[in-house]
Amino acid sequence: MKIIELLKALEGVQTIKSVMLLLNADKKKAIYYVHRLRKAGYVKTSGASNKTRVYHISAENRLNTQSYYDIINKYAPIGIIPLEETRVYGKEITPEEALVFAIKANSVRAVIAALALFRKIRNWALLSKLAKGELKRQVCALYGVAKTIMRVRKMPKRFKNAAVPHKEDKYAYIIQGLSSDNFKSIEKAWKVYIPLNKADLEDYR
């Protein structure tokens, strides 16, 4: 069932039992449907006096949320319209968080769009905390690509030095099976296969 169909069917105040009745679903499926609506930003949760969870489902709830794609699209030259997205309520998503999300998204389009975030990265300490292990190398490799097409904020030496690969480190894929024909020196420097070529970055010209 599509998100919009779920929203229309369940808009209002619901419990798991009422969701089960409205959608003729078992408990596991009802929980899954509420989970999907919550991820899309349509659900606020409260508790009743008998400790039952109450779900306030409304299109208006989404107006007070952000998604990682909202932040990416705010700065990128290309727009991304995901089929489904996780939305965050009551918290402002940072460019650092959006960058890490995009790298993990397993999407070439998300990676291309996220390069623009390097213009907005200020909190390198937060980015260092979020990007553990080989993910830090992936950040540095994409930063190297970003530098070839735009002016970006300077990466602190501390972040860069912490990401330098060791001899025993294996090459990491950002997207499994994809590597670059144009950014071989950057791939070699960070032991990271870059899923982009220069032709993919024409929107930045």
Q: What is the pLDDT of residue 129?
A: 96
CA distance 28 to 171: 40
Q: Once rounded to an integer, what is the mean pLDDT over residues 177-197?
A: 97
CA distance 28 to 20: 9
Every domain range in the chain assigned CATH 1.10.10.10? 3-57
The mean-pLDDT minimum among 87-101, 112-126, 162-176, 186-200 falls in: 87-101
CA distance 148 to 134: 22
Alpha helix stretches (DSSP H) within 24-179: 27-39, 68-75, 95-104, 108-114, 124-130, 134-147, 157-163
Decide yes or no: CATH 1.10.10.10 for domain 3-57: yes
Mean of all residue pLDDT scores within the chain: 91
Q: What is the pLDDT of residue 80?
A: 82
Joined together, the tokens standing for residue 203 give 């929107």
pTM above 0.75, yes or no: no
